[in-house]
Structure 1
Amino acid sequence: MLTLDPKAALVVVDLQALTVGNAVAVPLGQLRERVAELLAGFREAGGVIAFAISTGTPPGRSAAGAGGRVWPDALLELDEGLAVGSDEIQVSRAALSAFAGTDLDEQLRAEGVTQLVLAGLATTFGIESTARAAYDLGYNVTVVADAVSDPRPAAHEHSLANVFPALAEVASSAEVLDALRAT
């Protein structure tokens, strides 16, 4: 049974116009539904919520080429139905991890957060990078298996089965919501 720390934060990663087409492993409709349920549960419980938005790539060289890329403003918009509340956190970065180049860690620590619940896109990019960084920073991490998605189903399953268990708990949205109600 999943247990949530008294101060757990829901972190929604890259669920924005740029990335919604990458929701293949968990179809976009299901992903939206699970994230909406998690947001409602955390809001009802008065929990901490953070949104991380990708604005581009870092300047390093990759198979896609050298130098950083900057996404057009239209691609930075949160997915339909999502909005950042006045007391919620939003960070923007040109990196894979939601922590890279942002003050997310400082904002979460100021709220007393000790655990992160991760949802969004993409399992093998923003979610995995954020989970690794959070673990390295000393947070307890939970990845919500039915509230993360990836353009490559096999890679998504590999991360859930082989990567996340080494640095996080893997749970369903129903398990997270049950644990949230019990906290």
Structure 2
Amino acid sequence: MITRIDKNTALVLIDFQLGVTSMALAHPIAAVVHNAALLAAAFRKAGLPVVVVHVNPIGSPAMMVRAEVSSMPKDPAAQKQRLEAMTAGGFFNIVPEINIQPEDIRITKTTWNAFAHTPLLSILQEKNITGIVLAGVSTSIGVESTARTANENGLNITFATDAMTDTQLACHENSLRYIFPRIGETGTTADILHHLSVSEK
């Protein structure tokens, strides 16, 4: 349950890119994207930061380790070929509904976590941000990983439960039920928009 939204809060949108949103997902992606777009428009209207994150894991140290399930090539030539194919196919392009604006903060991450090896934390600190609203794909991967670091750095977190989804429903529900309530507050897009309007007064 959401109790309030900090006056200095940023919206952080995780991996709303074509290559991710085109995967088989647990919820209809059109509704998830629509809610994320509503949040982005409201934050911009309120003069609050919108952070648009996308992932490019090709060649990152996290993709080079041994793992039982891995889809990323480890050979440099194969990485180059994969990157060219993903770029040509629009994998990294943010979905148009987010309607990126010049003032939006763009972050490219190479791991699940939007804070790892990126300037995101220092940017938020420079702007005196005390809270973030999180949305994105996938709930148990990019969103949860980012949330854990945000919590470790003392940021208040609000999770937009209907503006995120996962490739597995069980993973999505596990994060919402057991992880997120321990490190932040959860609510719908409508709840967040209501509290956002209250915080502006």
Task: Report TM bin, short chain.
Answer: over 0.9
TM-score of the pair, normalised by structure 2: 0.85
Deviations 1:7-51 (A, max 9, x none): 000000000011103462331111111011101111111111101
CA contact (8 A) 1:5 1:115 kept: yes
Partner Cα distance (1:136, 1:67) in 2: 31
SS in 1 for 2:150: helix
SS in 1 for 2:179: helix
SS in 1 for 2:18: coil
| Aligned mate of 1:168, from 168, 177, 184 | 184
Cα 1:110/1:182, change in 2 over 3 Å: same
Cα 1:168/1:23, change in 2 over 3 Å: farther
| Aligned mate of 2:101, from 82, 85, 106 | 85
Partner Cα distance (2:145, 2:98) in 1: 22
The aligned counterpart of 1:129 is 145
The aligned counterpart of 2:119 is 103
- Structure richer in helix, relative to its length: 2
How many residues align? The count is 183
Unaligned runs of 5+ in 1: none
SS in 1 for 2:43: helix
Partner Cα distance (1:137, 1:32) in 2: 28
Partner Cα distance (1:29, 1:83) in 2: 15
For residues 136-155 of structure 1, the aligned pairs below 5 Å read 136-155=152-171
RMSD in angstroms over aligned alpha carbons? 1.8
Q: Which of the two has higher C-alpha Rg?
A: 2
Moved more, 160-169 or 69-78: 69-78
Deviations 1:94-129 (A, max 9, x none): 100000110000111111111010011000100000
Deviations 1:41-63 (A, max 9, x none): 11111111101110015232222
The aligned counterpart of 2:9 is 8
CA contact (8 A) 2:13 2:51 kept: yes
Partner Cα distance (2:124, 2:9) in 1: 9
Query: Partner letter of residue 12 of structure 2?
Result: V
Q: Percent identity?
A: 30
Query: Partner letter of residue 176 of structure 1?
Result: I
Partner Cα distance (2:24, 2:12) in 1: 17
